[in-house]
Amino acid sequence: MGAVILDLQINPGVAPWPVLRDAAIAAEGAGYDTLWTVDHLAGDVMQAPDMPECFTLLGALAGVTSRIGLGPLVVNAHNRHPALLANSVATMQNITGGRFVLGLGAGSAPDTPFASERHAVRWPPLPTMEERHEALLATLRTMDEMWADDRHESLARFPRPVVRPRVIVGVNSVRLARLAGAHADGINVRASHPRCAEFAAAAREARTASGRAGEPEVTVWEHFDEGLVDGSDARLAAWRGLGVGRLILLVFREIDPARIARSGALLRRDG
């Protein structure tokens, strides 16, 4: 099995714009495949003072980069109307010339810490897992409808991406992994999740049952560590054995563009 592709994710609430800009430039120069950000309304769950809106930030990052992929990991499908999200995604894909990747999630339960930002603005999450999964599926179906070659004439003046972006679904259940396998391009799971292998298998089975060609992409995320960048960490072999093709390294507490730039030497040595 080939080498795992390495991406970088930043927690944009912990740094001002000039640092985020320099981090993106450094990540591109270092050779990371894709730079990811997050989609939150407030900084609480990311232990940050606040949180910039993800598509506004991604548009700005697109303007200071030219090669690296860009995407949110993950957009809460219930944070925006599906048509608005489809418009935002198509716009980002066209601005970047095909570099955009959509990370999509179903959102969290109302009684979890991740829901605090929604309660704060009197906009509680959908109450059941089934409803949250249906909202995600409705978003995928809306994008299909708005971007179709044979779309209805009433949609003819809505933006359509020059190249349809990959859609990676953040999963934490077998049911959601199956939904992603059947309707999206891949899944993302925390690398240390005890059911990671089960979720990957469920996504593959659902892809086969759906009749869609190819296998879903399996991606995992873990906190940034040089041992994962240079290939010396033993966990990499275990993840390859699960069919993981992409590792997303999260810079959570302090974004240091110089450290990101230096990691490029390790990344090139591994590749």
Is the confidence at residue 268, as pLDDT, over 90? Answer: no
For 99-164, list the strands marked E by DSSP.
102-105
Token pair in block for residue 178: 């199956």
Whether 35 contacts 74, CB under 8 Å = no
pLDDT in tens, 46-90: 999 999 999 999 999 999 999 999 999 999 999 999 999 999 999
Q: Is the pLDDT of residue 269 over 70?
A: no
Q: What is the pLDDT of residues 5-39, one digit of tens each?
A: 999 999 999 999 999 999 999 999 999 999 999 99
pLDDT tens digit sequence for 85-136: 999 999 999 999 999 999 999 999 999 999 999 999 999 999 999 999 999 9
CA distances 230 to 25, 26, 75, 224, 249, Å, are 20, 17, 29, 12, 12
Average pLDDT estimate for 227-254? 95
Mean pLDDT for the stretch of residues 179-184: 98
Provide the token pair at 163.
């190249």
Tokens standing for residue 81: 């109307």
Residues 231-257, mean pLDDT to the nearest whole number: 95
pLDDT at 2: 61
- Give the pLDDT mean for 196-201: 97
The whole-number average pLDDT for the span 190-210 is 97
**Phi and psi based region of residue 129 (left: phi greater than 0; alpha: psi -120 to 50; beta: remaining):** alpha
